[in-house]
Structure 1
């Protein structure tokens, strides 16, 4: 009987149809990201109640928001490399449990600085969870549908944000602001029990970590129940020496790493600047508070739809060029907002397409970064790109106030905001052209 050649698990997953087991994995990651979105939106809704109870000024609240962003950045930097060393499932569950307990502790805060410290810890757990959901989803999805499934999974963030806003409004009125943090702590702890039971470890990680063959076969059998895997062996990619972080800067990946970092920085700068300041900017044109809030909400609606549509397009065309065109169009749409700001209907359309293009592209960039790096540094690559992007989110959140103080006209202001989106489009185009060149010394991923 001829020997059965070793199975390449990546090719195995790519050639089979999506199974219920893989759908379950995507749904579990969706729920993790949704809880992240709930927490992110909730802190903004409870801030007025915290301010009233503790008699704070708006300036006192700035560190509260900044602490969460700093925690997200630190969590991505720390937990990405750990996931490449110890596995996606283990780090994901730890991150979810960690931010659940941190959120519960936040509900008992006695003063502002205690709450700020606990919000940092909550962000630390959230920052570790989000990139690993992208990595795990990517590693279980077949290549022909990978971008669409990863971007659809990540829509859990905007859906969770919407639920967080609605739930917070009711909970604060009925039970006070601490009830929102309690809810945000209980949900991940309950979900962690389901994750321990149902969430699989990445089969690619198990192979590269040389885990028992029985574990790998059991997981692949759930991907393709009809396959006979008795006596199967698996092709083990060579694990490069050194830390996962050092792999990001090797010649084969250095240029891509820097281009992804620049893209994430510019993209999240625009997203957080518009998310934080768009209602305020629209109010200066004479729109009512209610109208400004509705128009601003179209940014999130557009982002959710954009993530799904762009993910579908990325699976059918060159994903770099899809994202490059989308980012460039985002710059145009953002600039258009300033010219249409006095017309609620037209500005709503412009804001919708700005969200569609820039937020949708950011989700697509997450999926693309997961596909760029090999298994032994994938979680680190995705996580560190997100961490650099968080620097952009801080610049965007703070930069809005600076731009307002300059006294620019609305068209000039939004034209300036659109420039980073155009730069993100240029970096994606550059990355696409770089990766299209035939490598002289190709490095197997």
Structure 2
């Protein structure tokens, strides 16, 4: 039975882009908040945090994100993406307020898991909504526009850490994030549309999905996509957690170290727009490889005692090469599978990638605990970025049967 078709979108509704941008800004703030506030938390004598315990706390949000992404894959066909976005935003806003109020590390750990659970639920649903409501020639760019919120939110988290935290304590970081999410929630409830996938899927019989990913035609691509996402998120979460502390180990004061985190996130907000537009022109694969290489150059340059402005440029390159890369990977995966398996494909690669996100903070903590030379600390993050560039280049070209599947509105990307 064929699905009743609807005209493909010729333009993206402004309400979709703006609300998705707002949700991703909240997501970026909440994920970066821990790394931004970490120097103040390590200096707080009442909690007695050490590098090892801080590393473990840094893994909790990615663990929650993994669980959230898996739950979305189970629930999306039952309740729709709109309800999942609303529930996820409500969850991570409440969890941020919990982190601001708790008196002890164990309760704070619970809050960070819940933050990850909410973020993990909202991120793939937002990616799906933008993809589904975008014309084919603007999918990379529109996705980059919405995901620019990750960098904006991260920059806001670093600004709050540099301005409010010194006077009011690290709890202010989490309080402001929680209140911001509560302000966006009523607007999203009124104006966020339902997913085209969910609406169209209610009229279509179920098809086999997971087995297709490991069939002969897609097996190599599936494995390489999973490994590429793993490398991308390992670098991303490792840098986001430890960049201020890495810069302090290189001799910078706390204020300057947080300044680098602000610039990193501004780079992730602006740079992916350019890379996304380029990807719509030259293809996702080449753009992703180039983006990974930007991260390699940017991270490596940070190890040298160069003028501050030069280091800021390097931080921008690192930002483009981390968040920008992951944005493009999501679109690349969606483009390489038949319509009815795209949801499962993106969900699988993100789930495996979350393991890299979980290991990233532990990896960075291990580098710092090993008391390596400063240059080696940064090279330690440049190496997995280089591996990601190699892996994505190895992804085989799409076979004609997979690449010529007719586009059906509503059956595109999710996780």
Instruction: Please identify, of 188-197 and 150-159, the stretch whose mean Cα deviation from structure 2 is larger.
Output: 188-197
Give, in angstroms, the shift of residue 326 of structure 1. Answer: 2.5
* Contact map agreement 2:34 2:241 (CA 8 A) in 1: no
Q: 1:82 to 1:254 in 2, by over 3 A?
A: farther
Range that drifts further, 248-257 or 157-166: 248-257
Per-residue CA deviation, residues 39-77 of structure 1 (Å, 9 max, x unaligned), is 223334445359637332324444433222211121112
Partner of 2:231: 266
TM-score by length of 2: 0.84
Offset from partner CA, 1:340-399 (integer Å, 9 cap, x none): 334434333333223223332222223333444555454443344233222212322222
Residue matched to 2:274:
309
Shift of 1:24: 0.9
Deviation at 1:34, TM superposition (A): 0.9
1:438 matched to 2:391: no
**Alpha-carbon contact 2:37-2:165 (below 8 Å) kept:** yes
Superposed counterparts of 1:210-221, under 5 Å = 210=203
- 295-304 or 368-377, which deviates more: 368-377
Provide the residue aligned with 1:364 in structure 2: 328
Q: 2:357: which partner in 1?
A: 393
The DSSP-based 3-state class of the residue aligned with 2:102 is: coil
Contact 1:305 1:360 in 2 (8 A): no
What's the RMSD between the two structures over aligned residues?
A: 3.2
Judge conservation of contact 2:47–2:104 (CA < 8 Å) in 1.
no
Q: 2:283 aligns with which of 318, 336, 350?
A: 318
In structure 2, C-alpha distance between the alignment counterparts of 1:108 and 1:417, rounded to whole Å: 34
**Aligned equivalent of 1:196:** 189
Q: Whole-Å Cα distance in 2 between the matches of residues 410 and 321 of structure 1?
A: 31
CA distance in 2, matches of 1:53, 1:416: 30
Distance 1:279 1:160, change over 3 A: closer
Q: Which has the higher contact order (CA 8 A, sep 6+)?
A: 2
1:273–1:175 Cα change, 3 Å:
closer
Shift of residue 278, structure 1, vs aligned partner: 3.6
User: 34-43 or 137-146: which moved more?
Assistant: 34-43
**Residue 57 of structure 2: SS of its match in structure 1?**
helix
Q: CA deviation at 1:333?
A: 3.9
Listed as ranges, the matches of 1:221-240 within 5 Å are 239-240=206-207
Question: Contact between 2:336 and 2:403, CA under 8 Å: does it hold in 1?
Answer: no
Cα distance change on mapping 1:322 and 1:132 into 2, 3 Å: same
Matches within 5 A, 1:126-275: 126-167=119-160, 171-172=164-165, 177-178=170-171, 180-210=173-203, 239-241=206-208, 245=210, 248-275=213-240
Unpaired runs of at least 5, structure 1: 211-235
Alpha-carbon distance change, 257 to 27 in structure 1, aligned in 2, over 3 angstroms: farther
Deviations 1:129-157 (A, max 9, x none): 11110111101101111100001100101
Q: For residues 176-227 of structure 1, give each alpha carbon's deviation from its aligned partner in whole angstroms, at most 9, with x where no partner exists.
A: 55454444334334433322321111223312221xxxxxxxxxxxxxxxxx
C-alpha change, 1:287 and 1:46, in structure 2 (3 Å) is closer
Q: How many Å apart are 1:121 and its aligned residue? A: 1.7
**Cα displacement (A) at 1:274:** 2.9
What is aligned with 2:412?
none
1:55 — aligned with what?
47
Structure 2 residue 7 is the aligned partner of structure 1 residue 43:
no
1: distance between equivalents of 2:371 and 2:317?
26
SS in 1 for 2:8: helix
1:316 alignment partner, SS class: helix
Query: 1:109, 1:397 → 2: CA distance?
Result: 22
Q: Are the aligned partners of 2:56 and 2:361 in contact in 1 as well (CA < 8 Å)?
A: no
1:362 and 1:383 mapped to 2: Cα distance? Answer: 13
1:13 aligns with 2:17: no
CA distance in 2, matches of 1:292, 1:443: 49
**Partner of 2:387 in structure 1?**
423
Alignment of 1:328-339 (within 5 A): 328-338=293-303
Query: 2:236 touches 2:322 (CA, 8 Å); kept in 1?
Result: yes
> d(CA) in 1 for partners of 2:79 and 2:167?
43
Inter-partner Cα distance in structure 1 for 2:53 and 2:369: 20
Distance 1:336 1:131, change over 3 A: same
Q: How does 1:290-301 map to 2 (within 5 A)?
A: 290-301=255-266
Contact 1:84 1:377 in 2 (8 A): no
